[in-house]
């Protein structure tokens, strides 16, 4: 790591570094690298670094507004699944390790859970009120409110599960590490301690924006029968995801403005459920992943020399 990693160096704007909490670990991703750091049962840290350019950067078409959000969603799902599989192999003992089939099954279950809980259930529940909601706008606002309510209840339930709490602690470590890097501080647990676990570019904020944007998009689909209604919502999820991505990106570029701060507040509040305060060991794992994703030829701002 270059000497400049230890020099205070404040960056205007934001650095293009993202991450994901894993099983006893953290994945970090820069424009040219992906790194996964996982704590073994014996206490050692295993670091895996791969030269990997995000899918949205591999083609001019994939980099187009909205398209890049859709491509990024697919890329994140695939990369995230691989990273979770890797962390499970490293962090879990032989008896509890997941096979490739287990991970594929988990992906299908996750997609099914998303469609069932956050698309089909709110749409079905709102359809029961059809005769009382004559206005399409009011109908979609009600559906959106139910969808957000189901989402919050889901997060509240899983946040009380012991294993999930552990993942949320690594989620907090990921955010603290990125904050430390963005502010040009030396990458140490001591410096990270002063930063919050809530980050404005977190995927949690994006998910909340997806639900808000969906109200606007779904309003354009009319009010067909409940089955067609559910199917149409599933089909436009990629468009909704792409638009929400653009909204997050815009807010990130103007995060000091009053409007951006106000719009970002609900997402930041939501992170009280999805992040927990990490301990020193978890911060060490997050920093190992961050350093791995930056590589020797990168400055503290993640830019090539």
Q: Give residue-wise pLDDT tens across range 101-115.
A: 777 787 788 888 888
pLDDT band of 297, cuts 50, 70, 90: very low
Contacts of 102 (CB under 8 A, 6+ apart): none
* In the chain, % of residues over pLDDT 90: 39
Q: Would you kindly state where each structural domain of the chain is located, as residue ranges?
A: 14-291
* pLDDT greater than 60 at residue 200: yes
* Lowest-confidence region among 72-76, 119-123, 235-239: 72-76
Residues 6+ apart with CB under 8 A from 234: 115, 119
Dist. CA 298–CA 291, nearest whole Å:
10
Task: Name the band, by pLDDT with cuts 50, 70 and 90, for residue 192.
Answer: very high
pLDDT at 210 over 80: yes
CA angle 58, 62, 63 (to 5 degrees): 90
């Amino acid at each position: 790591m270059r000497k400049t990693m230890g020099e205070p160096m404040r960056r205007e704007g934001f650095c293009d570094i993202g991450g994901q909490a894993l099983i006893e670990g953290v994945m970090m991703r820069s424009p040219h690298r992906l790194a996964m750091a996982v704590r073994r049962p014996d206490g050692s840290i295993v670091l895996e670094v791969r030269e990997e350019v995000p899918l949205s950067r591999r083609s001019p078409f994939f980099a187009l507004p909205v398209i890049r959000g859709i491509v990024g969603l697919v890329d994140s799902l695939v990369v995230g699944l691989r990273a979770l599989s890797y962390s499970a192999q490293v962090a879990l003992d032989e008896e509890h390790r997941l096979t490739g089939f287990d991970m594929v099954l988990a992906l299908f279950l996750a997609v099914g859970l998303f469609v069932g809980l956050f698309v089909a259930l709110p749409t079905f529940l709102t359809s029961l009120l059809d005769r009382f909601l004559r206005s399409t706008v009011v109908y979609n606002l009600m559906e959106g409110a139910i969808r957000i309510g189901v989402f919050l209840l889901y997060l509240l339930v899983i946040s009380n599960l012991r294993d999930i709490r552990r993942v949320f602690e690594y989620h907090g470590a990921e955010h603290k590490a990125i904050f430390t890097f963005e502010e040009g501080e030396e990458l140490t647990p001591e410096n990270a301690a002063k930063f919050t676990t809530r980050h404005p570019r977190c995927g949690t904020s994006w998910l909340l924006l997806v639900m808000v944007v969906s109200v606007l998009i779904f309003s354009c689909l009319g009010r067909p029968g409940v089955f067609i209604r559910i199917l149409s919502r599933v089909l436009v999820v990629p468009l909704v995801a792409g638009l929400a991505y653009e909204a997050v990106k815009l807010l990130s570029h103007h995060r000091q403005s009053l409007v951006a701060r106000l719009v970002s507040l609900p997402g930041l509040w939501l992170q009280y459920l999805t992040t927990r305060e990490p301990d020193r060991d978890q911060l060490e794992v997050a920093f190992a992943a961050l350093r791995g994703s930056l590589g020797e030829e990168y400055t503290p701002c993640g830019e090539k020399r």
